[in-house]
């Protein structure tokens, strides 16, 4: 396997990573281009534009006598905290928070969602999927595409639009427009907005709920109810439009996490089974666990590769330390796997058999003993020719993911890596 000489991504990274003649991947190249672009952006001008735009929506909604100036889709994570704080505290709008409950929640996720509602004093509408539907969809999509979290993404990407129509609120405010940043399809198109197609391609693996209404799936309209997109007539009548804050404000996930921890008491995980990054994706049980492990079983790399590559690109981690992180985390069997297997009534052998046809033969090989093994690892490519030439200067190496240990001591000792479902 060929590996990027700057970060730690393998050549089979999805979707469509390409490694150039210097051995550097398209994700790293696109990150460079993006950095140059972002440094030239007139941020104060963009912020003025945002302030004016949200002000206009606010005025129009109030003229109509509608109590809600905009909709903010929230999961309870650090981005949700930042979005709500920005819109409510900085721009003075009254947002309606909208959340989709996929029912595979962690205690920490529920705690953080409650925290937003409480600290920022907002109304929240939450759609809770029937637990049986969630399990049926997860099981079917596991078999079909090796993904147990399709309904998470379909729900958070669709239910807010349904709410926009229902409550007659045209403006939806999303956080970061970053679907493809990891592997480098970032395009410099200004002010990209939310679309049905983008949601389907990037978040729903190309499937609309209509595509799952099949005899073989056994899924019903009731199971899939929150994922049907509103009609064009409804969208036009309300004038629904989804903007991304990252097009208007400089977006730095790490400083934002630190800001919401300090200012709003956002709580992070204490540790993770499959990555060193404790900030992201705290809200659901499988995002960092089984969901990510399935990616590893298919393509031979996981979230530690994603997170470490991102740190390398920001100059916050050396490639050598990134490789150590990959070795430590990428192969780890996550604790939530048993929770999932018990809940859907499946054995590990059955799950592995379902994934088998999805294993990428460019990295996985089945031994004579029937066990699957990776045929290569970035660990074998520490000192490849070209690594030195591709190296970025370290600006901030090994800066710890701070604020957590101190806070943890001061707060209730919550086991935030807890793997149990909390329904509501």
Q: Which residues bind Zn ion (CB under 5 A)?
A: 4, 6-7, 25, 28
Task: Extract the tokens encoding 396.
Answer: 């901030």
Residues 6+ positions from 58 with CB-CB distance below 8 Å: 69, 70, 92, 93, 94
- Residue nearer to Zn ion on the CB measure, 136 or 319: 319
Name residue 173's beta-bridge partners: 243
Give the nearer residue to Zn ion in terms of CB position, either 362 or 418: 362
- Minimum distance between the CB of residue 305 and Zn ion, rounded to whole angstroms? 10
**Which of residues 34 and 46 has its CB atom nearest to Zn ion in the complex?**
34
- Give the nearer residue to Zn ion in terms of CB position, either 28 or 148: 28
The nearest distance, CB 118 to Zn ion, in angstroms, is 41
Residue 52 CB, nearest distance to Zn ion (Å)? 38
> Of 6 and 139, which has the nearer Cβ to Zn ion?
6
Alpha carbon of 381 to those of 299, 322, 330, 396: distances in Å?
Answer: 18, 12, 16, 24
**Bridge partner residues of 244 (DSSP):** 174
Query: What DSSP element (H or E) covers 78?
Result: helix 78-85
Burial class (CB in 10 A: 0-12, 13-18, 19+), 349: exposed
Strand partners, 27: none
Least distance between Zn ion and beta carbon 310 (Å): 10
Cβ proximity to Zn ion: between 4 and 257 the closer is: 4
- Scanning 190-244, the segments in alpha helix (DSSP H) are 196-203, 221-224, 232-238
Secondary structure letter of residue 243 according to DSSP: E
Closest contact distance (angstroms) between CB of 33 and Zn ion is 13
Output the smallest distance, CB 359 to Zn ion, in A.
23
For Zn ion, the closer of residues 15 and 206 by Cβ is: 15
- Residues 60-93, buried b or exposed e (16+ Cβ, 10 A)? ebeeeeeebbbbbbbbbbbbbbbbbbbbbeebeb
Residue 202 beta carbon to Zn ion: minimum distance, rounded to whole angstroms:
20
Phi, psi (deg, nearest 5) at residue 356? -50, -50
């Amino acid at each position: 396997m060929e590996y990027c000489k700057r970060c730690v991504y393998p050549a089979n990274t999805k979707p469509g990573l390409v490694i150039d003649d210097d051995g550097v991947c398209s994700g790293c190249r696109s990150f460079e281009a993006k950095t140059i672009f972002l440094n030239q952006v007139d941020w104060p001008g963009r912020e003025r534009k945002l302030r004016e735009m949200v002000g206009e929506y606010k005025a129009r909604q109030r003229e109509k006598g509608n109590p809600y100036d905009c909709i903010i889709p929230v999961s309870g994570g650090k981005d949700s905290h930042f979005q709500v704080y920005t819109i409510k505290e900085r721009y003075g709008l009254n947002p309606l928070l909208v959340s989709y409950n996929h029912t595979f929640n962690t205690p920490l996720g529920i705690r953080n969602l409650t925290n937003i509602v409480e600290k920022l004093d907002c109304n929240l509408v939450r759609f809770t999927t029937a637990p049986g539907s969630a399990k049926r969809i997860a099981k079917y999509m596991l078999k079909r595409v090796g993904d147990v979290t399709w309904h998470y993404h379909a729900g958070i990407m669709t239910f807010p639009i349904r709410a926009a129509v229902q409550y007659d609120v045209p403006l939806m405010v999303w956080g970061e427009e970053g679907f493809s940043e990891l592997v480098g399809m970032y395009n410099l198109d200004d002010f990209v907005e939310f679309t049905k197609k983008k949601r389907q391609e990037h978040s729903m693996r190309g499937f609309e709920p209509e595509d799952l209404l099949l005899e073989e799936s056994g899924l019903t309209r009731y199971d899939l109810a929150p994922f049907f997109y509103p009609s064009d007539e409804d969208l036009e009548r309300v004038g629904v439009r989804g903007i991304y804050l990252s097009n208007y404000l400089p977006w730095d996930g790490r400083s934002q996490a630190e800001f919401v921890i300090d200012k709003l008491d956002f709580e992070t995980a204490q540790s993770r089974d499959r990555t060193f990054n404790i900030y992201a994706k705290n809200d659901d049980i499988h995002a960092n666990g089984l969901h990510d492990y399935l990616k590893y079983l298919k393509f031979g790399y996981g979230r530690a590769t994603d997170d470490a590559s991102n740190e390398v690109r920001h100059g916050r981690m050396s490639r050598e330390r990134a490789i150590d992180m990959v070795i430590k985390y990428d192969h780890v069997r996550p604790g939530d796997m048993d929770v999932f297997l018990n809940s859907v009534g499946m054995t590990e052998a059955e799950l592995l058999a379902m994934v088998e046809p999805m294993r990428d033969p460019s990295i996985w090989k089945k031994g004579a003993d029937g066990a699957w093994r990776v045929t290569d690892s970035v660990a074998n490519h520490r000192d490849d020719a070209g690594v030195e030439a591709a190296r970025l200067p370290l600006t901030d190496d090994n800066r710890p993911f701070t604020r957590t240990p101190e806070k943890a001591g001061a707060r209730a000792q919550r086991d935030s890596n807890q793997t149990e479902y909390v329904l509501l």
